[in-house]
Amino acid sequence: MAIVRASTPLSPDMIKGLAVGDTLRISGRIITGRDKVHKYLASGGESPVELEGALIYHCGPVAARRDDTWRITAAGPTTSMREEPYQADIIRTFHPGAIMGKGGMGDNTLGAMASCGCVYLHLTGGAAQFYASRITSVEEVHLGEFGQVEAMWVLRVHDLPALVTMDSHGRSLHTTIESNSLKRFQQLLENPL
């Protein structure tokens, strides 16, 4: 349950040392990608930015442009599970160091994380201002043809806290919670009103 300060890109050694329950405090560049970016990358598209060791953030920000400068007005995580069909392929092709979003991901992603060295970082959904306040600037916007929400935003963040809920050793907090809650759910089904 360590608190670890980290700068992106993440080194393979740092990724290997992270375990479920650790908190990262991230500074540096992060790269957003939602459904359209994932589908594009998984079907052979070239990434406009280097993804080796990078942090891919499942997020569709709210952005406003003033005097040619983008300002992010809200930027919480979106549900990661929607990218489950693509994420493992993307991890194997591009070798990102971390995937960040909410809700956790499935077994395919967990397997790719173990074989390639990658972690899943969990943020609190809906906390859009908390995370927007950690974004210091918008560095680049790519794949704008997917629309503002689905574009690939390169953001600079400072001291953004994120919880490791899936590590590179095959552990997932989401699996643990789900199997514990299943037991309780089954008990409740058998206790009528």
Partner 1 sequence: MDTSLVYQSMYDLIRKTSTELPEDIHTALKNARLREHPDSIAYSIFDTILESSGLSKSTSLPVCQDTGTILALVKASQTGIYDEIRSCIIQAVQALTTEGILRQNCMDTITETNTGDNTGEHVPGIHFIPENGPARVGIMLKGGGSENVSTQYSLPDNALKAGRDFEGVRKCILDAVFQAQGKGCAPGILGVCIGGDRASGYATAKQQLFRRLDDSHTNKTIALLETTILEQANSMDIGPMGLGGNTTLLGVKIGTAGRHPACYFVTVSYSCWATRRYLIELDDTGAISRWL
Cβ closest to partner 1, residue 94 vs residue 131: 131
Site for partner 1 in 115-154 (CB under 8 A): 122, 124-133, 147-150
Site for partner 1 in 81-100 (CB under 8 A): 81
Q: Are 98 and 122 in contact (CB under 8 A)?
A: no
Does residue 58 interact with partner 1 by CB under 8 A?
A: no
Q: Are 139 and 155 in contact (CB under 8 A)?
A: yes
Cβ closest to partner 1, residue 110 vs residue 116: 110
Q: Residues 74, 114, 138, 141: which binds partner 1 (CB under 8 A)?
A: 74
Task: Please provide the DSSP assignment of 110-166 as one string.
Answer: HHHHHHHT-EEEE--TT-HHHHHTTEEEEEEEE-GGG-TTTSEEEEEEEEEEEEEEE
Does residue 67 interact with partner 1 by CB under 8 A?
A: no
Task: Please tell me the distance from the alpha carbon of residue 42 to that of residue 51, in angstroms, as a whole number.
Answer: 13
CA dist 63 to 88, 104, 153, 179, Å?
29, 25, 10, 39
Number of residues that bind partner 1 (CB under 8 A): 49
Q: Which residues bind partner 1 (CB under 8 A)?
A: 21, 59-64, 71, 73-76, 78-79, 81, 102-104, 122, 124-133, 147-150, 161, 163, 165, 173-174, 177-178, 180-182, 184-185, 188-189, 192-193
